[in-house]
Structure 1
Amino acid sequence: MTFDALSALRTGGHWVDVLSAEQRAVLETLSEEEVDVLNRVKRRLDAAAPDVQGQDLKIL
């Protein structure tokens, strides 16, 4: 079975489906170790964030 980086990122809480096809193409080439690092960093950032956060939305 081959490693599915996008699925592992989704499971880790990353919103990969809102990215462009080009960005997803880059992420799907990540190794298991690279995805693990991203997921660990995200968990640490989430743990440090306040309970409620606003979204910064800019419409041009």
Structure 2
Amino acid sequence: MARRCAICGRGARVGSNVSHAENVSKRKFRINLQRVKVRKGGEIKRLLVCTRCLHAGKVNKVK
């Protein structure tokens, strides 16, 4: 399963760790994905959705 939002398609971004001695190494900034039950086309499906989409109201959660 890909670490991407099912709604907006956001994924991880690449950045740098910078130590006190200013040594640089690559790192990943991962997005905050949540497993959410969503009603899609009359069916209830479980999707990986980022919290940005949840806060924006792009998804209606099923309880």
Alignment TM-score, normalising by the size of structure 2: 0.20
Structure whose residues are more often strand by fraction: 2
Q: Which has the higher contact order (CA 8 A, sep 6+)?
A: 1
Larger Rg: 2
Structure whose residues are more often helix by fraction: 1
